[in-house]
Structure 1
Amino acid sequence: MARPPRFDTDQILDAAVRLAASAGPAGVTMSAVAQAIGAPSGSMYHRFPGRTALLAEVWLRTVGRFQKGYLAALGSDPDPRAAARAAARHVVSWSRAHAQEASLLLYGAAEFGRADWADEHGQRADLGNQRVFGSLRTLTEALGAADPRDHDRVVLALIDLPLSVVRRHLRAEEPLPPYAEDLTEECAAALLPAARP
């Protein structure tokens, strides 16, 4: 009977997150992750065919966890303005609670080798992004606004602005201030398209 694996996939990916947060995507190598969890380097290849697959999986798991909460926030209230405020807050509160994962996401998929990912990984990434931007389009329409400028205002308010708040503090390796969620919510609400008659 085969022995059960000593390290599961989540333990491997957790170590990869820590390495990415401290050394960037370049620090996530098969041997570095193996060393971080105390596993033989060769054992990594039983889970991932190579570094590209490892990078893809650590990115996809992290962004998937973020997007799950973000989509829940976007659907949290029938009032689109309240839902928008919740989504803006979520970016900051999730980043506060998951600082290493948030640091990883600041790099972007391209720096995790997106151009070389297998089709299956690329399709998973595209599907997640389509869900987010589809929900933002639905929110824009629920606000009574539908032109491209309005959609861009919603993206600015609910993605770009909250990320800029998070990025400034995480890149400086300092904690998010206690008022960051409130400030982000207030600024995002001010950017939303005005209600249409």
Structure 2
Amino acid sequence: MVRIAQFSADAFIGAAIALVAEDGPTAASIPAIARRVGAPTGSLYHRFPSKAAVLAAAWAEVHGDFTRAMVPPLAEGRAGAAALTLVQWARAKPRLARFLLLNDFALLVDGAPVPDEWRAAIARQEEALDTAFRALLGGEVPAAAAARLRFLVFDAPIAALRPHLLAQGPVPEFVDDLVAGLHDARPQLGQVA
């Protein structure tokens, strides 16, 4: 008789995301992830060879969701819409936003080896974002102009979101106004395209 797995890889990934989002990377130990699912620790090891593997799988899932949201407005050359998409994504998916936007992948896995499968998935997502951002730039631009636009699309919205994500509270509507205002001021800041 074939034994059906009681605890799925997705359940462990979801638990890792929740633990990191709630209490930071150190909260996502192997025993804590298993306990969150209600599974024995060995069940997690049947699906993932290490803590770094389950966290990399979680990162790939969340970063993939973020990438799917961000690529269309970037590729269409809509910087302001991309920045607002980031804010709206964080508002709609606060747990995912806390996991992704408040952490750094290298620190999350703490230098441990990451299985090739997850490393490749994350690299493909990064390349999709980079390609879409290059489309937003519309060609060769000075490095300073590209850095300024990257700040307006990614860094400024994340900075505006950060206190609300850290407080685990809702993202207020004024964050949209703040981010939109930065893009309204782009001509004075030296518009890229």
Following superposition, which runs of at least 4 residues in structure 1 exceed 4 angstroms of deviation?
none
Matched, 1:165 2:179: no
Residue 125 (structure 1) aligned to one of 122, 125, 136: 122
Distance 1:5 1:70, change over 3 A: same
Instruction: Give the drift of 1:169.
Output: 1.5
Query: What letter matches 2:8 in structure 1?
Result: D
Q: CA–CA distance in 1 between the matches of 2:192 and 2:26?
A: 46
* 2:84/2:180 contact within 8 Å kept: yes
* 1:59/1:112 contact within 8 Å kept: no
Alignment of 1:3-152 (within 5 A): 3-75=3-75, 77=76, 80=77, 83-105=78-100, 106-113=102-109, 115-116=111-112, 117-141=114-138, 146-152=141-147
Q: CA–CA distance in 2 between the matches of 1:169 and 1:11?
A: 27
Identity %: 31
Instruction: Give the drift of 1:125.
Output: 2.2
Q: TM-score, normalised by structure 1?
A: 0.86
Cα-to-partner distance string for 1:86-141 (whole Å, 9 max, x where unaligned): 11011111111111111111111022116322344333322222221221122112
Q: Secondary structure at the match of 2:138?
A: helix
Q: Provide structure 1 residue ranges, at least 5 long, that are not aligned to the other structure.
A: none
* 1:70/1:91 contact within 8 Å kept: yes
Q: CA–CA distance in 1 between the matches of 2:120 and 2:17?
A: 22
Tell me whether 120-129 or 163-172 shows the greater mean CA deviation: 120-129
Number of corresponding residues: 189
Distance 1:195 1:68, change over 3 A: closer
Q: TM-score, normalised by structure 2?
A: 0.88
Q: CA–CA distance in 1 between the matches of 2:110 and 2:141?
A: 31
Distance 1:2 1:96, change over 3 A: same
Instruction: Give the drift of 1:146.
Output: 1.4
Q: CA–CA distance in 2 between the matches of 1:23 and 1:149?
A: 36
* 2:69/2:85 contact within 8 Å kept: yes
Query: What letter matches 1:53 in structure 2?
Result: A
Q: CA–CA distance in 1 between the matches of 2:150 and 2:12?
A: 33
Cα-to-partner distance string for 1:148-188 (whole Å, 9 max, x where unaligned): 11111110110111111111211233321123223212213
Q: CA–CA distance in 2 between the matches of 1:8 and 1:160?
A: 35
